[in-house]
């Protein structure tokens, strides 16, 4: 048997999502994180000790490292363009977490950068990779619920875990950008990406966290596809009781409901037992520990597809093109919040039609 070529990862981001992405590489053969960068030397060095990599002191240092093949961007939103620019300029493949940009213009710039450089690119959207969502898609393809007609996503928690999320200028928005980016791509995944998103209508307001953010902490968005089908995304940063993630697909012959927040394990405890799950609001009393959270939330399969696509020289399931469409859809929703009307999703058709690079190692 031919030896599997090793893929060496440069990890940008040493926080919560950087750890999830790194843990998602656990079962990917011949894959190793060789360099990492993140906020502050202490966090960088702690990350390096945990995962056996070398701490670097800048984004540029990781992207110019001759041992790095593929750069994974797990940084705050305002650093995505800088990181993708550095990776592309140095001929590195690059995978970037959601949302791709703070807005459609940034996402378009990142798409142009990788296309012009001819490098591999992947969009890290984990919801479409959780095992239940994959099963939803399989049942739809088998005709189990007939033709999907509407889609609904409900995502909520009591607020972000990191300070940069609360700064709407740095992040690019509030709860809608943070969470409805998941629901938008999930809707495209179940309806089929061959049907374009046409327009969006949205409401958003700061109802609870006005002392912490200028962005919306609650929002509802409708997106209408070119064939008339509609998806609803209902998101909240003021939902107590832990992480909510409910996705529903309604067809003309049935419905499928997938609930990431429905606990398979529960316990009543009087003493804290350490980390229980993302956005858990309490550590004693009735608690709902998430078994193998990295796998359950889709990071294992997402990172496997990214690395294996890079290694094989093929396009991954989720690309910067998808991230750009998601950002453009959310831009329309934010315009709708201000106008009170349906707003058209605006994209560069020539950019969307461009052919991606799929050469392994590029």
333 within domain boundaries: no
The range of the structural domain enclosing residue 167 comes to: 128-290
φ, ψ for residue 334 (rounded to 5)? Answer: -65, -35
pLDDT at 310: 98
pLDDT at residue 263 in the model: 59
Which CATH number characterizes residue 75's domain?
A: 3.40.50.720
Model pLDDT, residue 3: 74
Is there a single domain that holds both residue 46 and residue 193?
no
Same domain flag for 157 and 233: yes
Residue 253 falls within a domain, yes or no?
A: yes
Looking at residue 234, its pLDDT comes to 98
* 12, 70 Cβ separation under 8 angstroms: no
Domain assignment present for 83? yes
User: Do 80 and 166 reside in the same domain of the chain?
Assistant: no
Residues 72 and 157 in one domain: no
Per-residue pLDDT of the chain (362 residues; tens, 9 = 90+): 457 899 999 999 998 899 999 999 999 999 999 999 998 999 999 999 999 999 999 999 999 999 999 999 999 999 999 999 999 999 999 999 999 999 999 999 999 999 999 999 999 999 999 999 999 999 999 999 999 999 999 999 999 988 899 999 999 999 999 999 999 999 999 999 999 999 999 999 999 999 999 899 999 999 999 999 999 999 999 998 888 899 999 999 999 999 876 656 777 767 776 765 666 777 778 777 677 788 888 999 999 999 999 999 999 999 999 999 999 999 999 999 999 999 999 999 989 987 766 644 44
Which pTM value belongs to this model? 0.92
Q: How many angstroms separate the first and last alpha carbons of the chain?
A: 25
Q: Are residues 114 and 145 in the same domain?
A: no
pLDDT at 173: 97
């Amino acid at each position: 048997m031919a030896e599997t070529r090793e893929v060496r990862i440069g990890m940008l981001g040493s926080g919560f999502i950087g750890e999830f992405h790194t843990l998602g590489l656990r079962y990917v053969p011949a894959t190793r994180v060789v360099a990492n960068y993140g906020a502050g030397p202490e966090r960088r060095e702690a990350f390096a000790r945990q995962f056996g990599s070398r701490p670097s002191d800048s984004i540029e240092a990781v992207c110019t490292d001759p041992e790095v093949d593929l750069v994974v961007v797990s940084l705050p939103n305002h650093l995505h363009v800088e990181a993708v620019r550095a990776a592309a300029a140095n001929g590195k493949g690059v995978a970037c977490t959601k949302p791709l940009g703070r807005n459609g213009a940034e996402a378009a710039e990142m798409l142009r950068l990788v296309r012009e450089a001819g490098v591999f690119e992947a969009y890290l959207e984990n919801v479409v990779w959780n095992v239940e969502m994959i099963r939803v898609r399989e049942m739809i393809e088998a005709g189990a619920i007939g033709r999907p007609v509407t889609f609904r996503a409900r995502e909520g928690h009591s607020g972000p875990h990191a300070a940069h999320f609360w700064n709407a200028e740095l992040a690019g928005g509030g709860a809608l950008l943070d969470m409805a980016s998941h629901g938008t791509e999930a809707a495209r995944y179940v309806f089929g990406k061959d049907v374009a998103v046409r327009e969006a209508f949205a409401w958003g307001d700061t109802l609870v966290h006005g002392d912490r953010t200028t962005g919306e902490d609650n929002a509802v968005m409708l997106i209408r596809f070119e064939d008339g089908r509609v998806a609803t995304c209902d998101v909240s940063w003021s939902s107590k009781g832990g992480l909510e993630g409910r996705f529903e697909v309604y067809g003309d012959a049935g419905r499928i409901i997938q609930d990431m927040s429905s606990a398979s394990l529960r316990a009543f405890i009087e003493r804290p037992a350490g980390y229980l799950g993302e956005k858990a609001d309490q550590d004693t009393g009735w608690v709902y520990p998430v078994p193998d959270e990295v796998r359950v939330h889709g990071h294992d399969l997402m990172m496997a597809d990214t690395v294996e696509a890079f290694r094989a020289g093929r396009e991954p399931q989720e690309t910067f093109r998808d991230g750009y469409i998601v950002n453009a859809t959310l831009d329309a929703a934010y315009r709708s919040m201000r106008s009170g009307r349906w707003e058209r999703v605006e994209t560069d058709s020539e950019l969307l039609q461009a052919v991606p690079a799929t050469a392994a190692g590029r």
